[in-house]
Amino acid sequence: MIPLSALAATLLSALIHASWNLALKGSAGDRMVDVAIMGIGGSLFGLVLIALFGAPVPAAWPYILASSAVHLVYWTALTKGYGAGDMSHVYTIARGIAPALVTVAAVVFASEVPGWGQGLGVLAISAGVMLVGVNRHAPLAATGWALLTGAAIAVYSLVDALGVRINDDVFSYKGWGAIFTFLPISLFVLFRRGPTGFIAPANGRWRRGLFAGAISSAGFMLVLWAQMRAPIGPITALRETSVLFGAALAALLLKETVTPRRWAGALVVCAGAVLIGFA
């Protein structure tokens, strides 16, 4: 059974994750500029952690750098997906394929074989997420970007979980990890847009973007903290309960249609979460 503290941290991270994705999807401006502002917010959060907790152990650096590279793929695919289709389609497919991939990878690379209850929970969450998110009429490009985003999620989730365990301290790992995760995408956007092309679209968007970046980084830190205390695969799957929050928020605030099939999928996700948390 997963410790209650790890369970609570992961569910809080899921709510945070759905909230900043809602802010990104609900943006009416240049989403890449929004991502860049979020990157600055995440980097500032990392600087605070660095000032308080210092540097990670040398053996953790390859994991931090590898995660940074994968996050560049993740951010690019996510913003492209949101530009091509609905949040409830892109977000849920991306989150749906990750748990199964991470669980299999954790068996291979971390020798973590889930129990029958946790294994069924992972499968239920993946299946439920796909019920929530799959839309046969969605643009093919949106589905393609969502699948690439999901693959990137699976890779960085495993890399960071292994890295933070080697470091044995989530704060110093995430401090530098936040800098190397967020700052490159901000610099990339600034380079592509140029100072004028960045500053003008960013006007009036700083407060929300900086806050979204900071809480995004804090939310992932909660997952890493949980993965130090519980199996990688089930914790990754449990975080995908964010689709419940995402579907509800998209329906309430973005006025996206959430069909009965998607709500049925949400119930399957809930059942999977119960199995992971209490089986």
Mean pLDDT by 10 residues, the chain (279 residues): 87 84 64 84 95 96 95 86 80 81 89 86 85 74 90 92 96 94 86 81 82 89 93 87 75 72 79 79
Closest CA to 234 of 132, 108, 106, 110: 106
Sign of the CA dihedral 206, 201, 190, 155? Answer: positive
- By three-state DSSP, how is residue 158 classified? helix
Dist. CA 89–CA 240, nearest whole Å? 14
Find where tokens 């917010």 sit.
41
Which residue type, as a one-letter code, is found at position 221?
A: M
- Interhelix angle for 232-239 vs 206-227, to 10°? 150
Q: Are 65 and 3 in contact (CB under 8 A)?
A: no
**This prediction's pTM:** 0.83
Hey, where are the domains in the chain? 4-278
pLDDT one-digit tens code per residue, 118-149: 889 888 888 887 776 667 777 888 889 989 99
